[in-house]
Amino acid sequence: MPTVPPPEELLTQEELIEKFLQNPNLAERYRKHLNKIQAEDVPIDIKPVNPPDIFCTEPQEPKQFFWVRARGYIGETDMKVHCCVAAYISDYAFLGTALLPHRQYNIKFMVSLDHSMWFHAPFRSDHWMLYECESPWAGGCRGLVHGRLWRRDGVLAATCTQEGVIRVEQNPNQSKL
C-alpha cells in the first residue's frame, strides 16, 4: 500500500470545493462547474490525497489517490453487498485519471466501455479504503485506467481496470483530416 496521509488529516471533496468557491477571483465558468459538482448527491465520502489543480491546463501525472467509503452504515452483511458498493465507488472519478496529462482539452463527454474488478480479501465498503488510480495510456479518444482499493491495514482488497471513450471539443481551426 502506498504511504499517504490518513483520511483524518485530509479535507473532503466538498470542503475542497467550498474552499475554491470562497475565492472572489474565481472565474465564473469554474464557479459554475464547481457548483454543479457540489449539487450532485453522491453517496460516497471522498478525501482526495493529491487533488489535481482543477484550474491548471498543464499536463499532470495520471495518478490519483483518494480515501473512499460509503456514506452511512452498512455493517456486517453479505460480502456481496460490500462488493457491489465497492464497484459503485470504484467507478467514481476513475476515468478522469486518464485526463490528467491532457488538461488542455475541453471534455465533451466520457463513458465507460468496460469496467472489471477482482476481489482479493474481505473488506467493509463503509470503512475508509485507499483508492489508488493510475492511467498508463490515453489516446485515440480512449483512456485506460487501473485501480487498487487498499484496506487501512495495508491489505489489497480489490483491483479494477476500466477503458472508456473520451470525446473532446473540436478546435474550429483544426483540420478534420
Per-residue pLDDT of the chain (177 residues; tens, 9 = 90+): 999 999 999 998 888 888 878 888 877 777 787 777 777 778 899 999 988 666 667 888 999 999 999 999 999 999 999 999 999 999 887 888 998 888 777 788 889 999 999 999 999 999 999 999 999 999 889 999 999 999 999 999 999 999 999 998 876 665 555
- Among the listed residues 64, 90, 91, 126, the single catalytic one is 91
**pLDDT tens figures, 15-66:** 888 887 888 887 777 778 777 777 777 889 999 998 866 666 788 899 999 9
**Which sign, positive or negative, has the C-alpha torsion 157, 131, 112, 58?**
negative
Cα–Cα distance between 115 and 129 in angstroms, integer?
Answer: 19
- Among the listed residues 112, 114, 153, 170, the single catalytic one is 112
- Among the listed residues 13, 125, 135, 162, the single catalytic one is 162
To the query of whether residue 112 is one of the catalytic residues in this protein, the response is: yes
To the query of whether residue 126 is one of the catalytic residues in this protein, the response is: no
